[in-house]
Amino acid sequence: MAKFGQGLIQGLTNPQFQQGLFELGDRIADRRKEKNQLQAISNITSLSNQGMASAQSADLGGLNASIKALQQQVPTAPTVEVANAYNKQITALQGMVPEVKKNASLNSVNQLEVARQAASTPEEKRNIERIMERVARESGNSTEGILGRTDAEIQTGKTRVEGQIRETFYAIPADKRKEYIRGIEQNGFGEVAAILEARELEREADQIKINESRTSAELARTPLPTGGLKKRVKALPESQERTDLLERIEMAESQNIKEGGTFQPGQRGRLGDELTSINDSISRAAGRQDQANLIVERQTQDEIQRLQRDLTRIEIDDDRVEEEARRLEEKKGSDVPFVGTTYKDFEAEARQSLERQAAKKIQDAIDRLQGSSTPDKSQGAGQSVIEGWSASDYKGQSVQFKDGKYKSDGTTWTKVE
């Protein structure tokens, strides 16, 4: 034992032996350092992959957790290079946060849409709509088409039922139609009931004339009336159906007698049947057009309401504000103390100016829509503007106003007959 101790002391005092020990220690330290680096790199890779997987699945919580885990590892990094690698991955994942936040919000909106569809009452659906709109707006997603979705669905269903009501109306016997109108009015379809009643009165007025002419002995040498039918057809918008009805009337007129003439046997009855058929067809066509006009009117009112909502929540992008502020600064003054307006003042002025411009644009759109639904009777054909609708903006186009359709040549409006 004493010999071993003496040998060890001699070895430690030997320079060559000492150098070997130092080299062995360095190699052990290097290997430990390499091992730590490999573990750190593996950890970076694992946490980064988790973060990217969370980003791809729009899992904002998972992404933030990966970022936090990487940040916690930076102080324990074995080398500066490893610390830099941690920071590089942190920066990369942080750059994904805004887009993931938007996608996560979009997923939330989609989930809320499922809940909206499952809601049992319109008011519940509208409440969910408002939540959807707020979530989308706060995350920078589009809010278009969210508010008013429930009302649009209700209106679509109502329009479908109204179409069925109209078709049923013309399928039932004429002597039962007034009773049918009272029934649909009592069931909440007052608008379509009023339309059908007005068209039925027109049909009845012409039918009375046709019936009297075809059955009265005193009117046997009198032509069957077609003037009222023709007038009603010409009031219809341009369509193939309108053209066909006019051709049928012209054909009927060619079979009619002149005043004081005489019908061939059975000719008056056949002509009366044809005019009755034309009369019914006109009512159907007019009813469809009334329904189409009603839909347009409702859509116009819905769009007006949407734009009015937009007026209450105008938001201007900060980049646009900054661009406008710099333009104002160059035009009006400087940021030098006691010389000109400060840059913050220019920013405030720029935001107000852009908000006014946006509000004016929306209000102009509202005015145009209100003009299309309730035009001023003093304006119309020959005018360059009809309630905000400028002819120069709609060259070659047609616009349906309440009192009829107008076409623009780029200078004035011409009513389309």
- Does a structural domain hold residue 4? no
Ranges of H-type helices in 216-340: 227-234, 240-255, 267-311, 318-332
- Does a structural domain hold residue 409? no
Task: Look at residue 254 in the predicted model and tell me its pLDDT.
Answer: 93
* Domain identity same for 156 and 298: yes
Dist CA 396 CA 23 (whole Å): 92
* Domain identity same for 160 and 297: yes
Is the pLDDT at 16 greater than 80? The verdict is: no
* Domain identity same for 293 and 172: yes
Is the pLDDT at 1 greater than 60? The verdict is: no
- Does a structural domain hold residue 122? yes
* Domain identity same for 191 and 274: yes
- Cβ contact 207:279 at 8 Å: yes
Dist CA 51 CA 390 (whole Å): 55
* Domain identity same for 80 and 208: no
* Domain identity same for 246 and 208: yes
* Domain identity same for 190 and 281: yes
pLDDT digits (tens, 9 = 90+) for 366-401: 888 887 544 444 445 667 766 556 677 677 777 777
- Does a structural domain hold residue 364? yes
> Residue 401 phi/psi, 5° resolution?
-100, 170
Q: H or E stretch including 407?
A: strand 404-408
Residues in Cβ contact with 206 at an 8 Å cutoff, skipping those fewer than 6 apart: 225, 228, 229, 232, 279
Prediction pTM value: 0.54
* Domain identity same for 303 and 238: yes
- Does a structural domain hold residue 326? yes
* Domain identity same for 105 and 202: no
Task: Look at residue 25 in the predicted model and tell me its pLDDT.
Answer: 52
- Does a structural domain hold residue 401? no
* Domain identity same for 38 and 91: yes
- Does a structural domain hold residue 90? yes
Which residues does residue 404 pair with via DSSP β-bridges, in sequence order? 401
Last residue of a domain, one of 147, 173, 206: 147
User: Average model confidence (pLDDT) for the chain?
Assistant: 82
Last residue of a domain, one of 113, 147, 181: 147
For the chain, how many structural domains are there in total?
Answer: 3
- Does a structural domain hold residue 187? yes
Note down the domain range covering 345. Answer: 314-368
* Domain identity same for 257 and 304: yes
pLDDT digits (tens, 9 = 90+) for 186-228: 998 888 898 899 899 999 999 999 999 888 888 888 999 999 9
* Domain identity same for 143 and 263: no
Is the pLDDT at 39 greater than 60? The verdict is: yes
Q: What percentage of residues in the chain have a pLDDT greater than 70?
A: 83
136 vs 397, residue with greater confidence: 136
Last residue of a domain, one of 107, 126, 147: 147
